[in-house]
Chain A
Amino acid sequence: MSLTLEQVQRIAHLARIEVSAAEAMSTQGHLNGIFQLIEQMQAVDTQGVAPMAHAQDVCQRLRPDAVSEGDRRAAYQAVAPETEAGLYLVPKVIE
């Protein structure tokens, strides 16, 4: 399997990464190299092997349901580019 240039552009759009035409060409090469690696792995017979969700054979640690984080808005907003009335301001987004 290999990716077309259009597919590379589409993935770039989904990831909100701007790639120029030249970059798209080199990215296509890189990605197709990765696909070759994947193809090699897919050639291994995995019949009857459960898909692995994590590299380590351990399970999720849980925390008790308790509030441990207080209000630190002032500190967090001190590093935000723009705030008003306690809100973070971002370029206008409309659905």
Chain B
Amino acid sequence: MNQWEVVIGIETHAQLATVSKIFSGASTAFGAAPNTQACAVDLALPGVLPVLNKKAVDCAIRFGLAIGAEVATKSVFARKNYFYPDLPKGYQISQMDLPVVVGGALLLQIGQGDKAYEKRVCLTRAHLEEDAGKSLHEDFHGKSGIDLNRAGTPLLEIVSEPDMRSSDEAVAYAKALHALVRWIGICDGNMQEGSFRCDANVSVRPKGQAEFGTRREIKNLNSFRFLKEAIDFEVQWQINEIEEGRKIQQATVLFDPDSGETRMMRSKEDAHDYRYFPDPDLLPLIIDADWIARVQDDLPELPQQMRERFIHVLGLSAYDAATLTASQEMAAFYESTVAVAGQASAKPCANWVMVDLAARLNKEGLEIAQSPVSPAQLGGLIQRIADRTISNNIAKKVFEALWQGDGATADEVIEKQGLKQITDSGAIESLVDEVLAANATNVAEYKAGKEKAFNALVGQVMKAAKGKANPQQVNDLLKKKLAE
């Protein structure tokens, strides 16, 4: 394994978030009864003509700007010819020589802790195209059933360079791309419904060899786990083939999640077989500078920029910044929390959102947007920790109360349940004195050098204070008294 290098490139089909199809006015809503959203254009009835959906182009421009690519001022639609019953025209309208987006790159954070590293993956291109329909091969008296609702759904096909060197890098790329298309609102990212699916081109070569090995393409991977499993299996399979003296043949394969294996679907027809040519039904797509500028103005702050701001302005670690910008919902929640708690509490806010809140949401199977505790409530709670009204431990109680709806604000919960921290040193001192008097054994043990006895005494004082004493003050006072 060690003398082999893995080379992976990924093609992704992202379904664009439009309400109508790319070349017709039929609906793209998911889950409709078969063929109720397939109009004359989608069915390729004689005499129909495609008219391009402006929103689909907007989405492509947004994507191009978000990855720092060149948005082509002139791009051309081409016919990709092949015969399959779920493609009524006998060709798919796609783009070949002049795609709408050229170049660009994604910056990935891979791994955690000491092994974490950054990797830049370059993109080759992204182009607009239409989806095909769906074939159902269950038994219809020995025939196949065709549902054309999906035919004509707008897709952005995003093609990466063969820059990835492991299945982990491939998954990191797919996740970053998935997060980005959702972030900029061009794709809902729903992988179960096929809105975001990946094909992985995988090859292996001896380490140090400049030329790529022969690649096989794994089609239609619709989860990150399958992407990793399929690549891992395929890599091992290719290495075994080569080590046993066989040559890899270029091919298209499918991944079977049940067996965990890839199997050959068809040997790859070469590109000429698709007989691409410019579609005479469609004129060149012209995107002028004004249009690009309008889309640019409308673009939100991107995850990469936000990560850098979190690191440099708020002082978060790279890991925290990456976690908090995993989705726009998460980032928005965090920013609203900091807005209330204050920038000085940026780090505690990060911990509360990433640890306490995330764990609670996870337990209930909720998304962050559904959190019963609002950013304003959480921010208010963190404020009370910062100004020492409550300790971290008590804060967890207050958080739970807010979660259960036992109060509209942290202040209200603290007031109602009498949780305000005792910071009056006189009051704490008398508690300390009581505890020292009642626990002579612990005191003796501590003086004999047993550190553990000290913790027991702290625990006793906190218990006497019902958890409301400031732990630091208790520590200091105890030490002082015991030293006397």
B18 (CB) vs chain A CBs: closest residue:
A65
Query: Which A residues touch B45, using CB under 8 A?
Result: 76
B52 and A62 form a contact (CB under 8 A): yes
Known: A53-B278, A86-B34. A95 touches B266 (CB 8 A): yes
The binding surface of chain A is classed by DSSP as loop
A88 and B145 form a contact (CB under 8 A): yes
A84 and B140 form a contact (CB under 8 A): yes
Stretch binding the partner chain, chosen from B20-28, B176-184, B397-405, B439-447:
B20-28
Stretch binding the partner chain, chosen from A29-37, A40-48, A66-74:
A66-74
- A40-66 contacts to B, CB under 8 A, are 51, 53-54, 56, 58-66
Query: Which B residues touch A78, using CB under 8 A?
Result: none
A59 and B53 form a contact (CB under 8 A): no
A62 and B51 form a contact (CB under 8 A): yes
Known: A65-B56, A86-B147. A58 touches B19 (CB 8 A): no
- Which of A53, A66, A94 makes the CB contact (< 8 A) with B98? A53
A68 and B285 form a contact (CB under 8 A): no
Distance in angstroms between the alpha carbons of A38 and B52 in the assembled complex: 32
Known: A59-B284, A65-B20, A65-B54. A86 touches B26 (CB 8 A): no
Query: Which B residues touch A69, using CB under 8 A?
Result: 24-27, 39-41
B265 and A90 form a contact (CB under 8 A): no
- Does residue B364 face the partner (Cβ distance < 8 Å to A)? no
A90 and B147 form a contact (CB under 8 A): no
- Does residue A77 face the partner (Cβ distance < 8 Å to B)? yes
Interface core residue of A16, A59, A60, A71 (most chain B CB under 10 Å): A60
A67 and B145 form a contact (CB under 8 A): no
- Which of B37, B56, B135 makes the CB contact (< 8 A) with A93? B135
- Which of B20, B38, B278, B284 makes the CB contact (< 8 A) with A76? B38
B53 and A60 form a contact (CB under 8 A): no
Interface core residue of B81, B85, B254 (most chain A CB under 10 Å): B85
Contact bitstring A8-34, B, C-beta under 8 A = 1, else 0: 000000101000000000000000000
Query: Which B residues touch A68, using CB under 8 A?
Result: 20, 25
A72 (CB) vs chain B CBs: closest residue:
B39
Query: Which A residues touch B273, using CB under 8 A?
Result: 14
- Does residue A82 face the partner (Cβ distance < 8 Å to B)? yes
- Does residue B282 face the partner (Cβ distance < 8 Å to A)? yes
**What's the nearest-Cβ distance from chain A to residue B147, in Å?**
6
**What's the nearest-Cβ distance from chain B to residue A94, in Å?**
6
B36 and A73 form a contact (CB under 8 A): yes
Query: Which B residues touch A59, using CB under 8 A?
Result: 283-286
Query: Which B residues touch A66, using CB under 8 A?
Result: 19-20, 25
B37 and A61 form a contact (CB under 8 A): no
Distance in angstroms between the alpha carbons of A34 and B26 in the assembled complex: 40
A93 and B85 form a contact (CB under 8 A): yes
Contact bitstring B270-295, A, C-beta under 8 A = 1, else 0: 00010100101011111000000000
Distance in angstroms between the alpha carbons of A14 and B271 in the assembled complex: 12
B147 and A91 form a contact (CB under 8 A): no
Query: Which A residues touch B141, using CB under 8 A?
Result: 89
Contact bitstring B37-66, A, C-beta under 8 A = 1, else 0: 111110101000001111111000000000
Query: Which B residues touch A92, using CB under 8 A?
Result: 137, 142-144
- Does residue B248 face the partner (Cβ distance < 8 Å to A)? no
Query: Which A residues touch B41, using CB under 8 A?
Result: 69
Query: Which B residues touch A1, using CB under 8 A?
Result: none
B284 and A60 form a contact (CB under 8 A): yes
B143 (CB) vs chain A CBs: closest residue:
A89
A60 and B19 form a contact (CB under 8 A): no
B145 (CB) vs chain A CBs: closest residue:
A87
B275 and A14 form a contact (CB under 8 A): yes
- Does residue B354 face the partner (Cβ distance < 8 Å to A)? no
Known: A16-B83, A90-B144. A56 touches B283 (CB 8 A): yes
Q: Which residues of A are in contact with B by a Cβ distance under 8 Å?
A: 14, 16, 51, 53-54, 56, 58-69, 71-73, 76-77, 82, 84-95
Given contacts A51-B97, A63-B25, A63-B52, 4 further A-B contacts (CB under 8 A): A53-B98, A56-B283, A89-B141, A89-B146
Closest 5 CB pairs of A and B: A68-B25, A87-B145, A65-B55, A69-B39, A86-B34
